[in-house]
Amino acid sequence: MEGREESGILIALSEARRERLDVPVTFDRRELDQILRVYGTMVAAGEWRDYAIDHMRDEAVFSVYRRTSEVPLFRIVKTPKLRARQGAYSVVAATGAILKRGHELARVLGVFDSKLKLVKA
């Protein structure tokens, strides 16, 4: 028994199956609900006008556009392989800069919350 290494890494069964069957990463219903809630708020504010969802082998991407002919303003990315490190979710700007990354989607989407400040006249 001495000298034997034991692994303590837990792998979600759904992730193991997904990798084995080569199924693309997708957003689940709860995640899409959170994303579409933010999207609806931004559309109502006149900031965003269109979106696209891409499901790839290693990540899922929700891209938002001001106009459909442009590059995405922001990309909301789910990368399950980064779940144990920086977190599976990130918001990436059009420049490629990562604005926020984390383990909880709601916190990552908080980057779009407008901050109200009290202004004294």
Q: What is the pLDDT of residues 56-93, one digit of tens each?
A: 989 999 999 988 778 899 999 999 888 888 889 999 99
Which pLDDT score, from 0 to 100, does residue 118 have? Answer: 46
CA atoms within 13 A on the CB side of 24: 9
Identify the helix (H) or strand (E) that includes residue 78.
Answer: strand 74-78
Which is more confidently placed, 53 or 15? 53
Mean pLDDT score of the chain: 84
Contact 63, 48 (CB under 8 A): no
Dihedrals phi, psi of 95, to nearest 5 degrees: -80, -10
Residue 1 has pLDDT above 70, yes or no: no
